[in-house]
Structure 1
Amino acid sequence: MGHKSESDQPDAGLKSLNHYSNRLPLWRYWPRQQLIPLIRYETPYLAWVQEKVRTPTLDSYFAFTANLGTHTFFMVFLPFLFWCGSPSMGRGLVHILASGVFWSGFIKDLLCLPRPLSPPLQRITMSGSAALEYGFPSTHSTNAVSVAVYALGLLGSPESTLSAQATLLLQCVTYMYVVSIVLGRLYCGMHGMLDCTVGCALGAGIGLIQFHYGPAFEEFIVSASLKDISLLALLIISLVRVHPEPADDCPCFDDSVAFAGVMLGVDVSSWHFADIWDGYPAGSIPYDLNTVGWIKTVIRLVVGVLCVFAWRTVMKPALLRILPPIFRTLEKLGLLLPRRFFTTASKYTTVPSNLKDRDVLPNFSDIPSIITTMRHPRRRAISVGPQSEADAYETLAYREKRRRESQSGNRASPAAEGETKSNGAPTMSRKPTTLGDYEGMMGRGSPHSSAVDVSPETTPFPSADFSIETELEAEQRDEKEVFSQIKKPRVRYDVEVVTKLVVYAGIPWIVIEVAPLLFDLIGLGVPHVV
């Protein structure tokens, strides 16, 4: 079984300021360096606003509503659209969400920009997995805005058959939804203004493209030839392959693979499904509420969801057993292109059966905890300090930045200026500068450094030789301390990429082709129109 050696642990020895310059090519490192100051600049302001407006009720509200912008929420509820007579809208939302998750994850791994520092921000969430990703741009914002733009476009379309009152109500709900998600990312300390602004712009673009060009693409799907659909599938798989390699062990790629698989499965299944059902519009799943009734409709949904979970429960472990020998053979032939942070098949014998994964679709075992969370929305976690390798490196980088600025005498931090007497002795001001205090907290990503002032602004350097030795020792101590706080990422196996792609491509196949056939077989379908 694969395991990490000491050399595989987070390599803090690269020194925080050089870590990304060593890991990223210049064309990716340069824009990252241009954007980092903006993220650092806005952090104390975000922390100041967070403290001023925070209440227990808002904590619970924004932590809870954040779930409505997650991939899991949409993956659980999107199948209902296919089974309840709205497959076209279902495909549109899949294209929107898959594009948003893929391209926001693409940009995240391309630029490797961290979230705003904690401290001074406190991160409020019901799920800690989101903090393991890079921050720029906000995927929650991308998802929420893309769905909102698409929904508002449909509501305002001349083809809409809803009444004026219903349209107004749904428009208000849509605006409230998107505002809650985007502001919630700022309130919860998970993102900054830059992250959310770019995420919103990306989402708006995706939503507009789907609204204007989605019908033409749908017509292409249901009438495509085998060659056309094969080229589309190849394009999606190629995009997965060219997804940027991150500098840290970030799970953005996992989400991108999952939703690339979902889009692949939706398009191929919709194309194939169009030839199965006669007497219905191409690509539509037979359903009529008057014919089926409410009871059978609910049973359809339950049976369909069980089919999806059964597929995932069976196929994931099966693929994790079948693929390693195949990958070892391909590796010997030189036909594999390994990804950073993924262990190649030649270095392990088996994949653990209890592999803990960051899954878009939850396991059966996760359902009780999800229900508990929904029933008790006041449950949330508030964390302070680094939560990922990206957090740790940014914490160390900011400490080194302040240390070097102190040594060069460029400037003292606002906190230091407000807390130092004329004779140089540190003291507390009666009226400390609030924003300065928040800036002073930046880079204090550990309980020890938060409790004791070890900032370079108040640390003397007696001599040149001694100061160099002290700086090196301080850097090593800082790195060990910060990295000891974060949860080390688990071993990731190369077969997981193909496994995830196949499993998630199979989910739409279950939803679009298998479930409707099963509905007919057990008497939950609609009589065929001939």
Structure 2
Amino acid sequence: MEKITMEKTQNGNGRTDAGLRSLNHYQHRLPKWRYWPRQKILPLIRYETPYLAWLQEKMRTPTLDSYFAFTANLGTHTFFTIFLPILFWSGYSTLGRGMLNVLAAGVFWSGFVKDLLCLPRPLSPPLQRITMSGSAALEYGFPSTHSTNAISVAIYAIALLRSTENTMSPVVNIAAQGALYLYAVSIIIGRLYCGMHGFMDVVIGSGMGALIAWVQCQYGLLFDTWIIAATGKQILLVILIVLALVRLHPEPADDCPCYDDSVSFAGVFIGAQIASWDFAQSSLAWPEPSPDTIPYRLATVGWPRTILRIVIGVLAVFAWREVMKPLLLRILPPVFRGLSKAGLLLPRRFFTQASDYEKVPQLLKDNDVIPSVSDIPSLFTSIRHPRRRAISVGPQSEADAYETLAYREKRRRESIGEQSQHLTVEGSVLTNRAPSKLEKYENMMGTGSPRRSPETLAPPSTDTGPDVMPAPRQATDDNDSDEQEIMFAMIKKPRVRYDVEVVTKLIVYIGIAVIVIDFSPYVFDSLGLAP
């Protein structure tokens, strides 16, 4: 594609004016070894979009909208991070560490690939995006982290259910396996139905999840045994390897929050290894089924004290986060400014450096894996009212906007080539037949501008859906610049992020794992909540 060069100016916030950015944004931002595979995969994403729109229209009902929007929450790492501590507190430390391993690997490596290739989600329109999470659409699309998480957890859990050591009754075992299959299928189909991912996104994401689950099944217990018997130097080596992977996480071409989730789960993983190793050395830990098992027996503890254990443990986690996060954000900036002057920092793109701000604002609205206390009421509201979902049409992120503009440019170039041989009307060749449904959907690609419908918007009817959308129009370079500026002004942008947040996340989430595995058992024992 011919390069279009435009002068770059800076707006009042120091960000490049979106209306003057080059359409060859990714070619300029990515090295060739990352740009080449991106350009090879991108046509497949564009090719499958009309088929996804056709599938979505055929399946859409208000009930399915609510079902798939709600069940998508069960595939997020936020759900698992809240659910996993219960496994540890209920005496299932081995299962908890196994789940943590597959989830940490899934979130980190899917985010790694997302930021490596910077591939967009399927275009909207023609797709409508149905979600209960505003931050999900800000990430790149390939691969699907939801699919990675769902498949890795389902395969790992099913493998445990089918093992000879499982003592469940056959009826309960079969029912549990059936629930896991339903869960995985619901998550994967839901990503397609909700317009959040394409076929290739979920296939590759599922493949990554299957690979991660296989590694855990083959080597997970060996790794856990090695960690518990490790020396202090060996634990330090594991920590340094994980930190090195965090630092090597690719720099994205756009302001994508994938890195934040990768850092959070890296912190949880590090904390879990430290806590399991330390707790296994204590006299409080039970040696079976693993040396770091938190003491628990339902017959002895009973349901009231079990519930109280969970409540106290959750409150401890939230208290740690509410205290440590603002504290670290207040004390770290001066430290970072000193390190920056000494040349000891390696800044990341899209993170504001400590030398450019005085202090980090309080009450940052971010995409933390563990929600803040202020977010809890909205979480319960979502659970009580699962029909509350947003249905969006048009670009929602910088990656969406660039893909929309790039596809418009592609269509215009194709139209110019066709005009030399055929009479065209609005980019479509005149023939004796009416355009097919897929052709209408294809004509809608690249036509969108950001907008959001009411929360309970009904699906479009088959009579007025794609026909009302205009085909891409011919535009001058001046019009292109105006369209870009308007589009980038309307899309939802990630908030300003600060360099100290990376270290803050690592410390906070390391501490969360330590509280769950190594601190809470002593609290339970001192309060008489242990067997």
TM-score normalised per structure 2 = 0.91
Q: 1:236 aligns to what?
A: 242
1:436-493 Cα shifts (integer Å, max 9, x gaps): 1100110012179x9784734xx4xxxxxxxxxx621122022112212202322110
The worse-fitting range, judged by mean Cα deviation, of 122-131 and 479-488 is 479-488
Secondary structure, counterpart of 1:446 in structure 2 = coil
Deviation at 1:6, TM superposition (A): 4.5
Q: 1:19 aligns to what?
A: 25
Q: How does 1:242-391 map to 2 (within 5 A)?
A: 242-278=248-284, 280-281=286-287, 282-391=291-400
Deviation at 1:4, TM superposition (A): 7.7
Aligned pair in 2 of structure 1 residues 444, 509: CA closer, same or farther (>3 Å)?
same
Greater helix fraction, Structure 1 or Structure 2: 1
Aligned pair in 2 of structure 1 residues 279, 209: CA closer, same or farther (>3 Å)?
closer
The one-letter amino acid of 2:403's match is E
Secondary structure, counterpart of 1:159 in structure 2 = coil
The one-letter amino acid of 1:8's match is R
Secondary structure, counterpart of 2:254 in structure 1 = coil
Between the aligned partners of 2:520 and 2:43, the Cα distance in structure 1 is: 51
1:164-214 Cα shifts (integer Å, max 9, x gaps): 111111110010000000000000000000000000000000011111111
Q: 2:439 aligns to what?
A: 436
Aligned pair in 2 of structure 1 residues 518, 447: CA closer, same or farther (>3 Å)?
closer
Q: Do the aligned residues in 1 keep the contact of 2:251 with 2:348 (CA within 8 Å)? A: yes
Aligned pair in 2 of structure 1 residues 170, 4: CA closer, same or farther (>3 Å)?
farther
Q: Which of residues 499, 507, 510 is equivalent to 1:494?
A: 499
Aligned pair in 2 of structure 1 residues 480, 413: CA closer, same or farther (>3 Å)?
farther
Deviation at 1:391, TM superposition (A): 0.3
Q: 1:78 aligns to what?
A: 84
Q: 1:406 aligns to what?
A: 415
Q: State how many pairs are aligned.
A: 504
The one-letter amino acid of 2:149's match is N
Secondary structure, counterpart of 1:383 in structure 2 = strand
Between the aligned partners of 2:70 and 2:160, the Cα distance in structure 1 is: 27
Gaps of 5+ in 1: 423-428, 460-469
Q: Which of residues 496, 504, 508 is equivalent to 2:509?
A: 504
Q: Which of residues 131, 154, 168 is equivalent to 1:162?
A: 168
Q: Do the aligned residues in 2 keep the contact of 1:69 with 1:144 (CA within 8 Å)? A: yes
Aligned pair in 2 of structure 1 residues 506, 400: CA closer, same or farther (>3 Å)?
same
Q: 2:36 aligns to what?
A: 30
Q: Do the aligned residues in 1 keep the contact of 2:120 with 2:140 (CA within 8 Å)? A: yes
Q: Do the aligned residues in 1 keep the contact of 2:393 with 2:450 (CA within 8 Å)? A: no
Aligned pair in 2 of structure 1 residues 268, 36: CA closer, same or farther (>3 Å)?
same
Deviation at 1:390, TM superposition (A): 0.3
Q: Do the aligned residues in 2 keep the contact of 1:308 with 1:510 (CA within 8 Å)? A: yes
Between the aligned partners of 1:6 and 1:496, the Cα distance in structure 2 is: 20
Q: Do the aligned residues in 1 keep the contact of 2:45 with 2:198 (CA within 8 Å)? A: yes
1:380-430 Cα shifts (integer Å, max 9, x gaps): 1100011100000000000111111222338999995767479xxxxxx7x
Secondary structure, counterpart of 1:34 in structure 2 = helix
Secondary structure, counterpart of 2:255 in structure 1 = coil
Q: Do the aligned residues in 2 keep the contact of 1:445 with 1:482 (CA within 8 Å)? A: no
Aligned pair in 2 of structure 1 residues 413, 139: CA closer, same or farther (>3 Å)?
farther
Q: 1:463 aligns to what?
A: none
Between the aligned partners of 1:4 and 1:179, the Cα distance in structure 2 is: 46
Deviation at 1:278, TM superposition (A): 4.8
Q: Do the aligned residues in 2 keep the contact of 1:414 with 1:437 (CA within 8 Å)? A: no
1:75-111 Cα shifts (integer Å, max 9, x gaps): 1111000000101100110110000000000000000
Q: Do the aligned residues in 2 keep the contact of 1:415 with 1:440 (CA within 8 Å)? A: no
Q: Do the aligned residues in 2 keep the contact of 1:345 with 1:495 (CA within 8 Å)? A: yes
Q: Do the aligned residues in 1 keep the contact of 2:366 with 2:495 (CA within 8 Å)? A: no
Q: Does residue 221 of structure 1 match 2:227? A: yes
The one-letter amino acid of 2:205's match is G
Aligned pair in 2 of structure 1 residues 454, 291: CA closer, same or farther (>3 Å)?
closer
Q: 1:143 aligns to what?
A: 149
Between the aligned partners of 1:325 and 1:245, the Cα distance in structure 2 is: 25
Q: 2:457 aligns to what?
A: none
Q: Do the aligned residues in 2 keep the contact of 1:415 with 1:436 (CA within 8 Å)? A: no
Gaps of 5+ in 2: 1-9, 452-466
Between the aligned partners of 2:359 and 2:285, the Cα distance in structure 1 is: 49
Between the aligned partners of 2:249 and 2:72, the Cα distance in structure 1 is: 26
1:94-132 Cα shifts (integer Å, max 9, x gaps): 110000000000000000000000010000011121100
Q: 1:462 aligns to what?
A: none
TM-score normalised per structure 1 = 0.91
Q: Do the aligned residues in 2 keep the contact of 1:296 with 1:524 (CA within 8 Å)? A: yes
Between the aligned partners of 1:447 and 1:13, the Cα distance in structure 2 is: 19
The one-letter amino acid of 2:158's match is L
Deviation at 1:433, TM superposition (A): 1.5
Q: How does 1:151-230 map to 2 (within 5 A)?
A: 151-230=157-236
Between the aligned partners of 2:422 and 2:526, the Cα distance in structure 1 is: 74
Between the aligned partners of 2:138 and 2:237, the Cα distance in structure 1 is: 34
Q: Do the aligned residues in 1 keep the contact of 2:75 with 2:149 (CA within 8 Å)? A: yes
Secondary structure, counterpart of 2:519 in structure 1 = helix
Identity across aligned pairs (percent)? Answer: 61
Q: 2:122 aligns to what?
A: 116
Q: Does residue 477 of structure 1 match 2:482? A: yes
1:500-524 Cα shifts (integer Å, max 9, x gaps): 1110111010101111111111111
